[in-house]
Structure 1
Amino acid sequence: MARRSIIHLSVVLPAASGKLFAMYLDPKKHAAITGGAVTISATPNSRFRAFNGSLSGRTLLAEKPRLIVQSWRSTNFHADDPDSTLFLSFYDAGKNKGRIDLVQLDVPKADYKGVTEGWQLYYWTPWRRLLAG
């Protein structure tokens, strides 16, 4: 089995943390961030799909308004790679600013760079642009 890694990221976006939490779990708002249809829910064990199925998994826990935990995998993971576990923690970071701290466990070494860069490219940058618009 390939060696896996942990991703630690943090971003501050121009919206209150509660709004960021709600946007992530709202299929239409999440789709507005990512640019494609999204299946997502706060319901435990509910399906998660984004980017035409390139990302998939399940929402394991959603503790409003602070914590989302998902099982998560990319189509770039090998068949014998376990799902990674994604933790998104939401905090206020000043007036009309929210911080998201991300920890993603068990990211396969072969996809570590792609997943790490993907958060910036496919989430943080378009999310910031959407909030500014």
Structure 2
Amino acid sequence: MPQTIQQSVTLPATPARLFAMYLDPKLHAAITGALVTISPEPGSPFHAFDGALSGTMLYTVPQRLIVQTWRSTHWNNDDLDSILVLTFWPAGEVGRIDLVHVNVADHDVPGVTEGWEKYYWKPWRQYLQSH
């Protein structure tokens, strides 16, 4: 049965900058170390990590909200696409990202949960500290 992952992370940048970085293909790639196709336009494709992740942009609210479908090549054909919701908030002098990842394939929940820290939060933090 699909599951939901919830995480919150604070990073040393404003929410507006974090939002813009996620949606900028060059900066997103600089953070993750892998090419990405991404755009804020509803219906636009999302591909990351050499196609290991794919989806469609569903909705954005500038500087505040990103909603996209999302799936991994590790998932079975009959697994549902998941829905990723990222919200961006001020947290003192830093920004906070709240993540809700719905319909994650149950057999990949540990991998996706750990993957957010390993492939996004940790390298993003390192990128911000060096730039």
Is the shorter-chain TM-score for this pair beyond 0.5, marking a shared fold? yes
Tell me which amino acid in the other structure corresponds to 1:34. Answer: T
Taking structure 2 as the reference length, what is the TM-score of the superposition?
0.98
Show the counterpart of 1:81. Answer: 79
Tell me which amino acid in the other structure corresponds to 2:125. Answer: R
Show the counterpart of 1:125. Answer: 122
Q: 1:41 aligns with which of 39, 42, 45?
A: 39
SS at match of 2:99: strand
Q: 1:112 aligns with which of 109, 112, 128?
A: 109
5+ residue gaps, structure 2: none
Tell me which amino acid in the other structure corresponds to 1:102. Answer: L
1:110 positional shift:
0.2
1:62 positional shift:
1.0
Show the counterpart of 1:52. Answer: 50
SS at match of 1:12: strand
Matches within 5 A, 1:88-103: 88-95=86-93, 97-103=94-100
Cα offsets for 1:3-59 (capped at 9, x unmatched): 110000000000000000000000000001110110000000100000000000011
Cα offsets for 1:71-121 (capped at 9, x unmatched): 0000111100110000000001112x0000000000011000000000000
Distance 2:7 2:75 in 1: 20
SS at match of 1:24: helix
Distance 2:57 2:92 in 1: 28
Distance 1:106 1:78 in 2: 13
User: Cα RMSD over matched residues?
Assistant: 0.4
